Structure 1
Amino acid sequence: MLGAARRHVACALSGGVDSAVAALLLRRRGYQVTGVFMKNWDIVDEQGICSADKDCEDAYRVCQILDIPFHQVFYVKEYWNEVFSYLLNEYELGRTPNPDIICNKYIKFNYFLDYAVNNLGADAIATGHYARTSLEDNEVFQQKYIRRPEGLFRNRFEVRNAVKLLQGADHFKDQTFFLSQISQEALRRTIFPLGELTKDFVKKIAAEHHLHHVLQRKESMGICFIGERNFEKFLLEYLEPRPGNFVSIEDNKVIGTHKGCFLYTYGQRARLGGLKDPWFVVDKNIASRDIFVAPSTDHPALYRDLLRTNRVHWIAEEPPAELIRDKMMECHFRFQHQMALEPCTLTLNQDGTVWLTMVKPIRALAPGQFAVFYKGDECLGSGKILRLGPSVYTLQQGRNREKTAENGPEVKVEPTT
């Protein structure tokens, strides 16, 4: 490719197969590629193993095989301040945070982007995410890197030809969910080499190009950069136990105790000793430390059709023109990676937050998670869930009380003597 060699791309390497193949594909396109491994966590796991060291070795081997320069950067302090402290604070508030979304926003597509541009002199960055943008590669290299001050909303005329974030061709592997909080400025300078590929094809490319060491690794499933842990033990290293009661949502009876509301999320099975049937978390009262539970996995107390987010981060249009014009907009959303997209209606509030009304009630919505919005293949952005509407069970109880009130109190007729 003419002139491609002068185009310098810094590719984030995790030590896994996806980022390795991303770097390989960039190299095959003729770009000057630098592999960068981010070390964001430096504490050993329960077995005394620091998995980041093994990841770093694997990333370095990828660079050796591809014959590209290797750099390691340390964002331990930044990760602690921007991601992990946020994580702990959200848990203390009784919410269920998503550290991967926050990590992408503040570390990979902020600090790493700055490092790539200002320290390595890169023209663009790349990651192994399964996602696409509306820019062709050559358009990415034409972008100027300007850090803009954040206001409540971006000036609607400031960003012309805004870059859209699009789902990966492999919808099962699509990772736009995790990218739904990154900035327009970062997206303009990012290439996603795996956007048009399936996971199976990526593995095939890795096998054909002697990247066998990354193929043998199992998929990472734990907290971003921290890995898989005994979750309860891990959290209790950082948060004080705050014991409370498990309370039945149906009759308010105490049926067990727990070590802290932060150890449970909505829809999770409650660990209750001595009970034959499983109970599931349906609500939490942080002030009283009560966790409300119900006796089945699809109890109506688990289903809701209304939520409110914080100020939404819109990726391309802030907010979308349709939402500005009509104050309402139909779209789809998900609040967990790989869950099916659900139809909904957004109602815009003056402070940039939205009410989201679902077409049908959805199980186990949880405050702290992100509602990520889609129109067709485009990921529009996301907002953190702050409030939930009443559950189907609460509404049923209300209707039952209304019926009782309408029918009036039961009149007992005394027998005549």
Structure 2
Amino acid sequence: MKVAMLVSGGVDSSVALYRLKKQGIDLRAYYLKVWLEDDAKFMGSCPWAEDLRYVRDTCAYLKIPLSIIPLQQAYYRHVVQYVLTELQQGATPSPDILCNSRIKFGAFLHAIGDSFDYVASGHYAQLRQWKNTTELLCSLDNQKDQTYFLSQLTQAQLKYLLFPVGDTVKHILREEARRNALPSSERKDSQGICFLGKITYPTFIAYYLGKQAGKIIEKKTGKILGMHHGYWFYTIGQRKGLKLGGGPWYVVKKDCTENTIYVAKEEDVHSYGCDSFFLRDTNWIPYLPKDGLLQVKIRHSPEYLEAVFQSSPRPLVVLKKPERGIAPGQYAVLYRNQACLGGGKIVLPLSE
């Protein structure tokens, strides 16, 4: 069996690589370079140099050949442009979901063709074969589970994948890395969006979309509370970064035409909660779910929301109770009995 292993320089993919090596599998490691160097230099940081150093040290230590695959143009075309378009439209994009479906298990699978039997990664997820289909199951580590980010993968992609660490909780995985002296054993977990590295998300947005002054208005009273630098920096439910006194304040609405952000105090936020939404651009693993009770995630989190799903005439999710922080463009991912069923982008019903 020949396996192409995606490595990132983190402890998860390092342990996954080590486990496959122990099994005597014919392995080659691949590091996907997705950031544009000129942009990274302009923003004052190189998001991939440190990662690549850990990747090289790990592969040398385990005596596994390494290839670096440049996918910057594909990433810009399929992920960055998507993110920028969504932000300009006032939506909340999920770039890591697109990175997995279009790049790691999309453009990369296309690049290596049929030269490998499987592609492995350090994602926290599990796979199960059932009736000629591949099910995507949650990891044993509920805190680290990454099925939310894998929810747009298709059967054609899943049948080629391996997730060697999906059956392990993080602290045990970290101990395994230390016990086997892997170079990344003490490296901190990465945070934020996969391609940004040490570059902050606001820096990325400002570089491409710039800044434009706008008003921050209290939704309840219509009072102007302050100014902001552009609605594209904010998402529904956001609390941090508003820099307003007398809070905490939460973003409850955005007016893209007027470049206005509406906020509410914590005790008023429930008034602007959402209890139902439609789904578009759906992907189902492995089939359209049956109508009825299920669980849903509206962001990467260990928490599930109870909901009722209705498939026709268009996919509809009705929450058991209103939830704040639901924004158009976010992905809602459906679950039943620890199986990820897939999902789609949130479309909110028409309101004021």
Instruction: Give the letter for the 1:294 counterpart.
Output: A
1:98 corresponds to which of 69, 91, 94:
94
Report whether the alignment pairs 1:269 with 2:265: no
Quickly say closer, same or farther: Cα 1:230–1:11, change in 2 above 3 A.
closer
- The 8 Å contact of residues 334 and 341 in structure 2, kept in 1 or not, is answered as yes
Quickly say closer, same or farther: Cα 1:341–1:45, change in 2 above 3 A.
farther
Q: Calculate percent identity across the aligned residue pairs.
A: 33
Rounded to whole Å, the distance in 2 between the matches of 1:243 and 1:182 is 39
Rounded to whole Å, the distance in 2 between the matches of 1:54 and 1:330 is 45
Partner residue, 1:187? 158
1:9-408 maps to which residues of 2 (within 5 A)?
Answer: 9-43=3-37, 44=40, 48-118=44-114, 121-135=115-129, 161-211=132-182, 213-269=183-239, 275-296=245-266, 299-317=269-287, 319-320=288-289, 322=290, 328-350=291-313, 353-388=314-349
Quickly say closer, same or farther: Cα 1:127–1:272, change in 2 above 3 A.
closer
Rounded to whole Å, the distance in 1 between the matches of 2:348 and 2:210 is 25
Q: CA deviation digits over 1:183-240, x for unaligned, max 9?
A: 11110010110111111111111112120x2123221112212224343333111103
Instruction: Give the letter for the 1:268 counterpart.
Output: Q
TM-score, length-scaled by structure 2: 0.93
Larger radius of gyration: 1
Rounded to whole Å, the distance in 2 between the matches of 1:175 and 1:8 is 25
Rounded to whole Å, the distance in 2 between the matches of 1:99 and 1:178 is 9
Instruction: Give the letter for the 1:359 counterpart.
Output: K
Q: After TM superposition, what 4+ stretches of structure 1 lie above 6 angstroms from structure 2?
A: none
- By relative contact order (CA 8 Å, sep 6+), the higher-ranking structure is 2
Quickly say closer, same or farther: Cα 1:187–1:298, change in 2 above 3 A.
farther
TM-score, length-scaled by structure 1: 0.79
Which structure 2 segments of 5+ residues have no match? none
Instruction: Give the letter for the 2:322 counterpart.
Output: P
Partner residue, 1:407? none
Q: CA RMSD in A?
A: 2.1
Tell me by how many angstroms 1:298 deviates: 5.9
Tell me by how many angstroms 1:316 deviates: 0.7
Instruction: Give the letter for the 1:386 counterpart.
Output: V
Q: CA deviation digits over 1:228-278, x for unaligned, max 9?
A: 434333311110333322122112232222221111111212756673333
- The 8 Å contact of residues 92 and 235 in structure 2, kept in 1 or not, is answered as yes
Quickly say closer, same or farther: Cα 1:292–1:270, change in 2 above 3 A.
farther
Tell me by how many angstroms 1:340 deviates: 1.0
- The 8 Å contact of residues 305 and 389 in structure 1, kept in 2 or not, is answered as no
Quickly say closer, same or farther: Cα 1:200–1:381, change in 2 above 3 A.
same
Tell me by how many angstroms 1:94 deviates: 0.7
Q: CA deviation digits over 1:387-411, x for unaligned, max 9?
A: 2576xxx9xxxxxxxxxxxxxxxxx
Which structure 1 segments of 5+ residues have no match? 1-6, 137-159, 323-327, 395-417
- The 8 Å contact of residues 163 and 188 in structure 1, kept in 2 or not, is answered as yes
